[in-house]
Amino acid sequence: MPRFFTNKRLILLLVGVIVLVALISFTLKDRQNATLPEQIVKDVVGFGQSLFSKPAHYITGTLDKIDGILNTYEENIHLKARLKEYASTQAELADVRADNEKLRQIIGKEESLRDYSPIHATVISRNPDQWEEKIIIDKGTVEGVKLNMAVMTSSGLIGKVVLVTPFRSTVELLSTENRNFRVAAVIPGKESIFGLIEGYDRTRGELIMKRIDSDFDVKEGQLVQSSGLGGIFPKGLLIGEVTEVSTDDFGLTKLAYIRPAADFGMLDHVMVAKRSSVIVSGTDGDVAEEEDVAVEEEGENGS
């Protein structure tokens, strides 16, 4: 008798397994229409989910709104503080500019290394093979663009004009592999630190500032600007921020890696700096009027 019940339980277990496998295989089949039991279960479950989900979404949305209001309030306080700081800085800058103008009038100096007139231009072409090297803009000699004029965005310096036609200009970027492309740079502070932007590290995506006197203490986070001493780039154009400082191969000078202020990969609108002061041909100290240098270099390119 016990043996019979044991066999009966085994039979029921086997039947249950078979039914379960059949149900699984039936539900796994690709079907366009659900069976009546499935429809009832889905509708009931869906109705229950909607009863719980709608209040839950409402509560979650309300909490998110409250959190957003609190964050907006904190951001508003922070922005107000920044605006006060900005207003103070603007007032100080205006005062410094006024004093500078008076001093320049006293000494009879009409021009400055910072002086330039912006020529707004649009990037119209970029060769994929020279994506990090050059761009072409829609302004040329007709609009007053000349060789060696500095080019920048609202974020900072990006390069200089190397080829000009009446309606188009080619700009060589700071991220070029041309080793002859140098920018006289300075790290402003109580004691200005001078050097040259020479080279671009593609792995790091950063510029390299070399020939920094080893006696100077260069720190990460310091800003780098054009010094204006090279004669091509106006003084004070933002280049980037120091990320790392080390010594050169000979240990005599320091070099610094500079994170560019401008994004070389996303360039659409740029400005060409049209200077009225004299410029220097290269960095060797030979001074010539801007137009004379442009003509000289055009002759060299043509030959």
Q: What values do phi and psi take at 258, rounded to 5? A: -120, 120
Tens of pLDDT along 57-90? Answer: 677 778 777 877 877 877 777 777 777 666 667 6
**CB–CB of 212/254 below 8 Å?**
yes
Q: What amino acid occupies position 272? A: V
Give the mean pLDDT of the chain.
Answer: 76
pLDDT of residue 288 exceeding 60: no
Pairing of strands 206-213, 253-260: antiparallel
Q: Select from 150, 140, 109, 125 the least CA-distant residue to 232.
A: 150
pLDDT of residue 265 exceeding 50: yes
Given pLDDT bands bounded at 50, 70 and 90, which one contains residue 293? very low
242: left (phi over 0), alpha (psi -120 to 50) or beta: beta
Q: Which residues contact 261 (CB under 8 A, 6 or more apart)?
A: 155, 156, 157, 238, 239, 240, 241
Tokens linked to 25: 């295989």
Instruction: Give the other-Cβ count within 10 Å of 262's Cβ.
Output: 23
Q: What value does the mean pLDDT take over residues 221-239?
A: 87
CA distance linking residue 140 with residue 137, whole number of Å: 8
The domain segmentation of the chain, as residue ranges, is: 35-110, 113-303
Beta strands in 1-154 (DSSP E): 117-125, 134-137, 150-152
What residues form DSSP beta bridges with 125? Answer: 136
pLDDT computed for residue 59 by the predictor: 78
Tens of pLDDT along 121-172? Answer: 999 888 777 777 889 999 999 999 999 999 999 888 999 999 999 999 999 9
pLDDT of residue 259 exceeding 90: yes
Q: What is the CATH number of domain 113-303?
A: 2.40.10.340
pTM: 0.56
Q: Select from 222, 229, 237 the least CA-distant residue to 190.
A: 222
